[in-house]
Amino acid sequence: METANNNGNKKPAFPAGIYGITAEKFSAGRSNLEVVEQMIAGGIRILQYREKRPHKSFGEMLAECRALRTLTREAGVLFIINDYPEIARLVDADGVHVGQDDFPVADIRRLIGPNKLIGLSTHGPEQAAAAVLAGADYIGVGPIFSTQTKDDVCAPVGLGYLDHVVRTSPLPFVAIGGIKEHNLGQVLEHGAQTVCLVTEIVGAQDIATTVRRLQAACL
């Protein structure tokens, strides 16, 4: 499914359900490739590659993203690169996701073109409104709960900010941050349609089964 932008180009539609993210240090010794293969087997529809320097070199990340792009393309899964639009362009990813302190949305658009998705992390109402004006295609809403998945994470924004986005944002969004199977129901009850669980998935003993179960709860 695709949507037309203002320039008449086609870009992928943002899917409901589970939004997968790689996190190799939480993956119980498994490689990103192994984890993503299992995510795809479980029915994931959108995947973000999130690894950082200096944990991996640009060469290592590029090689991984090329392999993951092949997997995701064959499976019809949207492939998003976190932070590195140059890698996204080299592997022909479906989009880029950035934070508030990363490259501006307008500059990323010039790099990757009009038919790719750009996601922007937001942590409050002003940032959500600014994301619309900046031309983001979707926003990240969080961290909803406390999380240690990222080293530079901000304080939890809580369900109140999620409620605000549900009421006011014209953009699709992904709820993220500290979401586990035991509190997923709360997030869905507050109106989230796309939800990211990181360690709950990449650290699961049976990733494919876990994704199937979480997808079923969301859809």
Q: For 68-113, how does the pLDDT look when each residue is reduced to its tens digit (9 = 90+)?
A: 999 999 999 999 999 999 999 999 999 999 999 999 999 999 999 9
E strands in the chain: 2-4, 10-12, 17-21, 46-49, 78-82, 95-98, 117-122, 138-141, 173-175, 194-195
pLDDT one-digit tens code per residue, 103-151: 999 999 999 999 999 999 999 999 999 999 999 999 999 999 998 776 6
Q: Per the structure block, which two tokens stand in for 7?
A: 């320039």
Res. 16 pLDDT band, cuts 50 70 90: very high
Catalytic (active-site) positions: 50, 121, 150
Q: Which residues contact 53 (CB under 8 A, 6 or more apart)?
A: 61
Average pLDDT, the chain: 94
Residue 13 scores a pLDDT above 70: yes
How large is the average pLDDT for residues 8-19?
Answer: 89
Number of domains in the chain: 1
Let me know: does 163 contact 126? Beta carbons within 8 Å: no
Phi, psi torsion values for 149, nearest 5 degrees: -70, -35
Q: The pTM is what?
A: 0.94
Residue 160 scores a pLDDT above 80: yes
Q: Per the structure block, which two tokens stand in for 55?
A: 């944990």
Exposed/middle/buried for 192, CB within 10 Å: 0-12, 13-18, 19+? buried
Res. 2 pLDDT band, cuts 50 70 90: low
- CATH number reported for the structural domain that contains residue 74 in this entry: 3.20.20.70
Residue 143 CB-half CA count within 13 A = 18
User: Does residue 197 lie in a domain region?
Assistant: yes
What pLDDT score was predicted for residue 150? 64
E strands in 13-152: 17-21, 46-49, 78-82, 95-98, 117-122, 138-141
Distance, in Å, from the CA atom of 50 to the CA atom of 166, rounded to the nearest integer, reads: 26
User: Does residue 99 lie in a domain region?
Assistant: yes
What pLDDT score was predicted for residue 151? 63
Q: Per the structure block, which two tokens stand in for 208?
A: 């494919």
pLDDT one-digit tens code per residue, 19-60: 999 999 999 999 999 999 999 999 999 999 999 888 899 999
Residue 4 scores a pLDDT above 50: no
pLDDT one-digit tens code per residue, 194-218: 999 999 999 999 999 999 999 999 9
Indicate if the alpha-carbon torsion angle 211, 17, 131, 145 is positive or negative: negative
Portion of the chain with pLDDT greater than 90, in percent: 89
What pLDDT score was predicted for residue 1? 45
Indicate if the alpha-carbon torsion angle 2, 185, 130, 102 is positive or negative: negative
| Residue 26 lies in domain | 16-118+173-218
User: Does residue 156 lie in a domain region?
Assistant: no
User: Does residue 10 lie in a domain region?
Assistant: no
User: Does residue 205 lie in a domain region?
Assistant: yes
